[in-house]
């Protein structure tokens, strides 16, 4: 069964032609409306809130503290705490300046760790406590230079 469209054909051929023309016209109208809407309102992202990319902070000056080991008493037995720490400062801070202060920072940290009970050093709270003690010692010894971040490379309680 073949479909023939003739110019001067029967009534059903004319209605088929009209239907095809109406369909093409409707598609053309929808395309024009869509293009006009994009031109008028912008792209599809226009309705969504603009989310700014987080600013990537440049890696600052990183300097290690010497490896440290503390002996703490919990009342029943002696516990060993091993620490290896990296300190991050603003990129403008000279690494040699930090390395010059490293022995003083380690000494100040040793003095503050004497008061810590080994049972306080478990879990995330223990990590937070150690980082806080390091921050206090560094900020005290390196005043007015401020510490950006404490990075624990090794934190072991035995």
The dihedral of CA 56, 88, 148, 68: what is its sign? positive
Q: Are 110 and 69 in contact (CB under 8 A)?
A: no
**pLDDT exceeds cutoff 60 at 8:** no
> pLDDT tens digits, residue range 105-144?
999 999 998 888 888 998 999 999 999 999 999 999 999 9
> pLDDT tens digits, residue range 67-107?
999 999 878 889 999 999 999 999 999 999 999 999 999 99
Over pLDDT 70: what percentage of the chain?
78
Check residue 151 and give its pLDDT.
95
DSSP 118: G
Question: Has this prediction a pTM greater than 0.85?
Answer: no
């Amino acid at each position: 069964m073949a479909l023939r469209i003739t110019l001067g054909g029967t009534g059903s051929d004319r209605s088929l032609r009209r239907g095809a023309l109406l369909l093409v016209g409707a598609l053309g109208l929808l395309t024009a409306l869509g293009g006009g809407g994009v031109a008028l309102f912008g792209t599809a992202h226009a309705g969504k809130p603009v989310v700014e990319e987080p600013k990537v902070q440049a890696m600052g000056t990183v300097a290690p503290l010497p490896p440290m080991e503390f002996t703490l008493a919990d009342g029943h037995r002696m516990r060993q705490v091993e620490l290896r720490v990296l300190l991050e400062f603003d990129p403008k801070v000279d690494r040699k300046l930090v390395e010059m202060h490293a022995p003083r920072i380690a000494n100040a940290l040793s003095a503050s760790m004497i008061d810590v009970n080994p049972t306080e050093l478990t879990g995330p709270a223990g990590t937070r406590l150690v980082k806080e003690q390091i921050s206090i010692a560094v900020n005290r010894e390196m005043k007015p230079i401020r510490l950006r971040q404490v990075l624990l490379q090794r934190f072991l309680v035995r």
